[in-house]
Amino acid sequence: MNEDNRQNNKLERFGFSCQRGGVHTARTMMLVELRALLSYVDTADAAKTDYLEAIETANCLGKRSGKTRALSFRHLAGLYALEPGVLVFRALRFFWQRDVDGQPLLAALCAYSRDPILRATVPFVLGFQEGATVNREAVEAFIDAQEPGRFSKATLKSTAQNINASWTQSGHLAGRVRKVRTRAVATPGTVSLALLLGYVSGLRGESLFKSDYTRMLDCSFEKTIELAEDASRRGWISLKRVGQVVEVLFPNLITAHEMEWLREQN
């Protein structure tokens, strides 16, 4: 097993997904459905079966058929895990009610860690200047270039539409038909989740604030630090900063067992 595969296997214990597929061939990041589900199942320690029952039996998402409900559950579980024992989802739930303004970006960060197709488009979409048009055809061409011929023309088109819709839900794009690059809204909770994802990936110190995850926040290094300090004052994370030395810890989020895994990783 090569080093990349070993690292991927370690990250999967925390809820990351490095599988070849991705929900975005079929759906967007489903922000509306996620909000409805987490509002209906409002206890942080709810089991995965509680989310299944809420969608399939109580029909909390208002879907017309049993097949659509089953698919909705499968896609939401693919994007967000829906298991309290999975760190990525547990962290999402922790910040979800505490930082309502951050919900779009919280969902995007979680989906990013679990959907390789969405993850692959991050440098492409974030590379556009504010105000630039991001059309579906350009996204199609980018996806196709990653693995030429993998998707049919129809799948490429629908996947690009779903990707653009997700980036619109997250606040990185705006517009219904013509998509324009805008600036996402970073908050104390979204910064905390981005730092956590970086920490689990093995980053420490100042490099936590310059990761692929914090890049999704669309804000400067200084602003990221400022929002992290706000989160620390609220008791969500622990941030200590002396000059250029920064230490970030997550006592509310990472269990003792998960800390053992991290020590093994390092």
SS3 162: helix
CA-based angle 203:38:120, to the nearest 5? 40
Whether residues 171 and 241 share a domain: the answer is no
- What digits encode the pLDDT tens for the residues 199-258? 999 999 999 999 999 999 999 999 999 999 999 999 999 999 888 889 999 999 999 999
What share of the chain has pLDDT > 90, as a percent? 86
**The residue to which tokens 């990221």 are assigned:** 224
Instruction: Specify the pLDDT at position 6.
Output: 58
Q: CA–CA separation, 17 vs 263, rounded Å?
A: 20
Residue 19 predicted with pLDDT over 80: no
Confidence bin at 1 (pLDDT 50/70/90): very low
Confidence bin at 160 (pLDDT 50/70/90): very high
Q: How many domains does the chain have?
A: 3
Whether residues 72 and 152 share a domain: the answer is no
Q: Is residue 104 part of a domain?
A: no
Average pLDDT over residues 93-113: 97
Contacts of the segment 110-113: beta carbons below 8 A, 24+ positions apart? 110/79, 110/80, 110/193, 111/23, 111/29, 111/79, 111/80, 111/166, 112/213, 112/216, 113/15, 113/16, 113/17, 113/88, 113/197
Whether residues 240 and 195 share a domain: the answer is yes
Q: Is residue 109 part of a domain?
A: no
Whether residues 219 and 202 share a domain: the answer is yes
Confidence bin at 265 (pLDDT 50/70/90): confident
Q: Is residue 254 part of a domain?
A: yes
Report the amino acid identity of residue 257.
Answer: H
Whether residues 17 and 53 share a domain: the answer is yes
- Backbone angle region of 186, left / alpha / beta, with phi > 0 → left and psi within -120 to 50 → alpha: beta
Q: Is residue 142 part of a domain?
A: yes
- The CA R_g of the chain, rounded to the nearest whole Å, is 18
Whether residues 32 and 55 share a domain: the answer is yes
The CATH number that applies at residue 258 is 1.10.10
Q: CA–CA separation, 257 vs 266, rounded Å?
A: 15
SS3 39: helix
Distance of CA 225 to the CA centre of its chain: 20
If one compares 1 and 237, the residue with the highest pLDDT of the two is 237
The residue range of the domain holding 137 is 121-181
Average pLDDT over residues 30-38: 98
Q: Is residue 110 part of a domain?
A: no
* Chosen domain end from 132, 152, 181: 181
- What digits encode the pLDDT tens for the residues 37-91? 999 999 999 999 999 999 999 999 999 999 999 999 999 999 999 999 999 999 9
SS3 85: coil
Average pLDDT over residues 22-42: 96
Q: Is residue 116 part of a domain?
A: no
Q: CA–CA separation, 155 vs 152, rounded Å?
A: 5
